[in-house]
Amino acid sequence: MSLGVYWDGAEVGQLERVEESSREYAFQYSSTPRPISLSLPLGRERFTPAESRPFFEALLPEGAVREQIASQLKLATGDSYGLLAELGRDCAGALQVMETKRMSEPPSVQWLDDHELDVTIEELPRHPLGINVEDKRLRLSLAGVQRKAVLVRGGDRRFGRPLAGMPSSHILKPELPGGDYPGIATNEYFCMLLATRCNLSCAPVELITAGGHPCLVVERFDRERIKGPDHTYHRVHQEDLCQALGLTPDFKYQQEGWSLPSYRALGDLLDRYSLSPGLDRLSCAQAALFHFLIGNADAHAKNISLLHVGDGVQLAPLYDVVSTAIYPALSTELALSIGDELDPDAITTIHWHDLAEDLGLNRSAFRHTRAQLADLVQVEAHSLRTEALAEGWHHPCIDAIADVIATRAARV
């Protein structure tokens, strides 16, 4: 059995097991004018399993979420091919991975009332991503280790489960009771709003209550709403930095002395493939500075994405932006180094100069950008905190984030 890889409903390639009993698989193009990844260029008949694995592994959940879903599907956790066969009808980006016969199944939505949405959120510990494996129509995949519901939102703002390959449009990330990170939904909402107010491109977010818990609603940047009465969505192709560099997800954090992944490697990709390399490289530097200011040490290579646009790429909006510094249990080491420094407390002016050089920016101009952004983040954080108090969504984590910003802005 082979799996078809589809883009906008057209087959662009196949995945095949190397041997019937093997977990190894290989990708080959069939007919397409555009590559699915910067690491899988056109012109090759077939890619080796080692070359194929980084892109397709990144379409699957990670960690405990993957283990739980695999167990429910009665598959080995390491059976990526089997998981893609079961979950590949709605992935990140524009691709679908499935048996050819499933392409004929008409997509649909199972709309949820408020009670059903609450139940979906409550059951996430048992059904990660909102997947109930007993429902064969419900098959979707989203990378990451966090439990979250992947849903469709209609024009009436109702949520629904995407069935039989219907494109999902929104991600719901609740703050479940007993978690190790109090205020995490409010934390991400505050940081994402703050990024937007500081003129950084960011995925749209909303904070709601579902299942009796604060719940962050994120509109997917890899989906576009199609104009019309039914409010359906079109998939937009994207890949994360690990995929673009040909790295499997377990290499998403930079280690001391490693050249991959890194901001320099991202800058090189943008120079080669971006439609607006100068703007994208500046946006990347501003994002790195913003992550530093709010204390987000988890801005790893899978949290940086490239949108495929025409014959090139462009830097995707920010997503998964959280202040990790306010949680003592989490590592403070940066996911990607500034210059060659992973310790945020050791970063000095010379490291910011190195970042500018890595991204092909003028040092003096970036010094001015740093000062402006550091001032703006402080002003907007104060304003947003005041709004949170007035509107009733304040959480003590916001005060802790503001303290981190004040300390780090002074150093920038």
Task: Write down the residue that tokens 């980084």 correspond to.
Answer: 54
The rounded Cα 283 to chain-centroid distance in angstroms is 17
CA dist 238 and 258 (Å) reads: 25
298 catalytic residue (yes or no): yes
Residue 252, pLDDT score? 97
Residue 140, pLDDT score? 67
Considering the candidates 90, 240, 280, 298, report the single residue annotated as catalytic. 298
Residue 169, pLDDT score? 96
Which CATH number describes the domain made up of 237-411? 1.10.1070
Please give the structure tokens belonging to residue 220: 């997917």
Residue 410, pLDDT score? 96
Neighbours of 313 (CB within 10 A): 24
pLDDT in tens, 47-100: 999 999 999 999 999 999 999 999 999 999 999 999 999 999 999 999 999 988
Q: Residue 336: pLDDT above 60? A: yes
Residue type, 157: R
Q: Residue 145: pLDDT above 70? A: no
Residues contacting 393, CB < 8 A, separation 6+ = 186, 189, 207, 214
- CA angle 93/97/102 to nearest 5° reads 125
Residue 133, pLDDT score? 63
Residue 136, pLDDT score? 57
Task: Write down the residue that tokens 């100069």 correspond to.
Answer: 353
Neighbours of 330 (CB within 10 A): 16
- Tell which residue, 285, 248, 249, has the closest CA to residue 266: 285
Which pLDDT band holds residue 155 (cuts at 50, 70, 90)? Answer: confident
Q: Tell me the average pLDDT across 3-23.
A: 91
Q: Tell me the average pLDDT of the chain.
A: 93
CA dist 315 and 284 (Å) reads: 8
- CA angle 136/139/140 to nearest 5° reads 170
- Tell which residue, 13, 141, 2, has the closest CA to residue 70: 141
Which CATH number describes the domain made up of 107-225? 3.30.200
Task: Write down the residue that tokens 């994402």 correspond to.
Answer: 192
- Please, are residues 27 and 44 in contact by the beta-carbon 8 Å criterion? no
- Classify 66 as helix, strand or coil: helix
CA dist 242 and 264 (Å) reads: 14
Q: 17 or 232, which is more confident?
A: 17
Q: Residue 20: pLDDT above 90? A: no
Which pLDDT band holds residue 154 (cuts at 50, 70, 90)? Answer: very high
Which pLDDT band holds residue 128 (cuts at 50, 70, 90)? Answer: confident
Q: Which residues of 234-243 are buried (b: 16+ CB within 10 A; e: fewer)?
A: ebbbbbbbbb
Q: Tell me the average pLDDT across 121-150.
A: 77
Beta bridge partners of 341: 338
pLDDT in tens, 283-294: 999 999 999 999
Domain ranges in the chain are 107-225, 237-411
pLDDT in tens, 197-249: 999 999 999 999 998 889 999 999 999 998 766 668 999 999 999 999 999 99
Percent of the chain with pLDDT over 90: 83
Please give the structure tokens belonging to residue 363: 């040092």
Which pLDDT band holds residue 176 (cuts at 50, 70, 90)? Answer: confident
CA dist 294 and 230 (Å) reads: 39
Please give the structure tokens belonging to residue 291: 């992550």
- Tell which residue, 280, 311, 316, 313, has the closest CA to residue 301: 316
Neighbouring C-alpha atoms within 13 Å toward the C-beta of 203: 25
pLDDT in tens, 254-296: 999 899 999 999 999 999 999 999 999 999 999 999 999 999 9
Indicate the angle between helix axes 396-411 and 363-391, nearest 10 degrees: 160
